[in-house]
Amino acid sequence: MQALILAGGKGTRLRPLTMHTPKPIVPIANKPFLLYQLELLKRADVKDVILSLSYQPQKIEDKIGDGTDYNVRVSYAVEASPLGTAGAYRNAASMISETTVVFNGGVLTDIDMNEVIRRHRERQAAATIVLAPVPNPTAYGLVETDKDGRVRRFLEKPKPEEVTCDTINAGIYILEPRVLDYVPEGEPFMFEYGVFPKLLEHNEPFYSYVWRGYWRDIGTASSYLQANLDVIAGRVELLPPPTTQRGEKFDESAEVEPPSAVDPGCTLKPGVRIINSVISRNCYIEERARIENCVIRAGTRIGAGSSIQRAVIGKGCHIGRSVEIKGAVLGDKSVLTDYSQIGE
């Protein structure tokens, strides 16, 4: 088994957090997001991983390398220009020689890939698509299946009266090499609108697997924040939730309420209170600052008496004294002067 992770998108919905950091390596609970997907694949003994890149590829290569540090073999297929989900798969054709797990680069899940692979083989499928239920399927493309799980049709953003199921494309596929024959070479092409309809048209054995456990697309700031909070709360059964070890620069009176993840290299001054939040390395939190339900990226300074709630703060920001932030997202190197109020 091989795996292809589609990690070439620009992460436009996640801006400004992805302006200087590609989405595949934005940190979730202080670990690059890709590590969660690599862990999921390793559990299924899939250790030959291809990363399909396009946007800021060198930053991803520098972070992941050849995979030795993570007990996998990582190779890279870089697109000269974006080719779409299936086009990226075709672009890596020279590196694909066997059944391949294809992962959307923005999906956080703890699905049991061993079970998905087993079902794929039992059915002798050409393709298997993982589906996830959602409360409001009208915002997505529905995937209808027969009772035996065989895919019948795709319905893009249906009207309420057209909804016949609650399952959507979860962005995880298992594909046999012959699926490459359905993808034109060197041109943009999508699985959803190009390859999958062709598989149905040619009556290929195309099946689904419904996953009703944890699944989240981290592609928006609000979902990215929630993914961090889910991981530190232990709702995602992948990498162990991080625990906070009090660093040398944590004042004795500084409170870190679990579940929180605060890098021990941070400075926490007297009276600081951190509740259910993720704080990355080298942050400097001044006296009586309160941070609740937040993600604070590396190298940020937060002034005395400031209150930050339900926010994502980028790298190297400077937040002044007595600032109030609620429900906002700040890009890298943002500056807020003393007594500023932003957000809700």
Report the C-alpha gap between 259 and 244 in whole angstroms: 9
Report the C-alpha gap between 152 and 106 in whole angstroms: 26
pLDDT of residue 28 exceeding 80 = yes
Average confidence (pLDDT) over 141-166:
76
Query: Three-class SS string for the chain?
Result: CEEEEECCCCCHHHCCCCCCCCHHHCEECCEEHHHHHHHHHHHCCCCEEEEEECCCHHHHHHHHCCCHHHCCEEEEEECCCCCHHHHHHHHCHHHCCCCEEEEECCEEECCCHHHHHHHHHHCCCCEEEEEEECCCHHHCEEEEECCCCEEEEEEECCCHHHCCCCEEEEEEEEECHHHHHHCCCCCCCCHHHHHHHHHHHCCCCEEEEECCCCEEECCCHHHHHHHHHHHHCCCCCCCCCCCCCCCCCECCCCEEECCCEECCCCEECCCCEEECCEECCCCEECCCCEEECCEECCCCEECCCCEEECCEECCCCEECCCCEEECCEECCCCEECCCCEEEC
Q: Quick check: is 14 in a domain?
A: yes
pLDDT of residue 158 exceeding 70 = no
pLDDT of residue 25 exceeding 90 = no
Domain holding 165, by residue range, is 2-218
Average confidence (pLDDT) over 248-273:
92
Confidence of residue 305 (pLDDT cuts 50, 70, 90): very high
- Tell whether 171 and 318 lie within a shared domain: no
Query: How many structural domains are present in the chain?
Result: 2
- Tell whether 7 and 66 lie within a shared domain: yes
- Tell whether 192 and 261 lie within a shared domain: no
- CATH number of the domain enclosing 160: 3.90.550.10
Answer with the one of 218, 240, 269 that is the final residue of a domain: 218
| Global confidence as pTM | 0.89
92-106, 231-245, 313-327: range with highest mean pLDDT: 313-327
pLDDT of residue 157: 66
Average confidence (pLDDT) over 143-167:
77
Q: pLDDT of 201-250, one tens digit each?
A: 898 999 999 998 999 888 889 999 999 999 999 888 877 777 767 888 99
Confidence of residue 174 (pLDDT cuts 50, 70, 90): very high
Q: Mean pLDDT check: name the lowest of 5-14, 97-106, 212-221, 311-320.
A: 5-14
Structure tokens at 127: 């393709």
% of the chain surpassing 70 pLDDT? 96
% of the chain surpassing 90 pLDDT? 49
Answer with the one of 167, 196, 218 that is the final residue of a domain: 218
pLDDT of residue 137: 67
**pLDDT, averaged across the chain:** 89
Q: Quick check: is 132 in a domain?
A: yes
Q: Mean pLDDT check: name the lowest of 30-39, 160-169, 264-273.
A: 160-169
* Burial bucket for residue 65 (CB in 10 Å: 0-12, 13-18, 19+): exposed
Q: How far is CA 194 from CA 33, 95, 188, in A?
A: 28, 22, 10
Query: Which residues belong to the active site?
Result: 157
Average confidence (pLDDT) over 313-332:
95
- Tell whether 213 and 274 lie within a shared domain: no
Q: pLDDT of 120-148, one tens digit each?
A: 999 999 999 999 887 776 666 678 888 88
- Tell whether 200 and 314 lie within a shared domain: no
| Contact indicator for 295, 277 with CB cutoff of 8 Å | yes
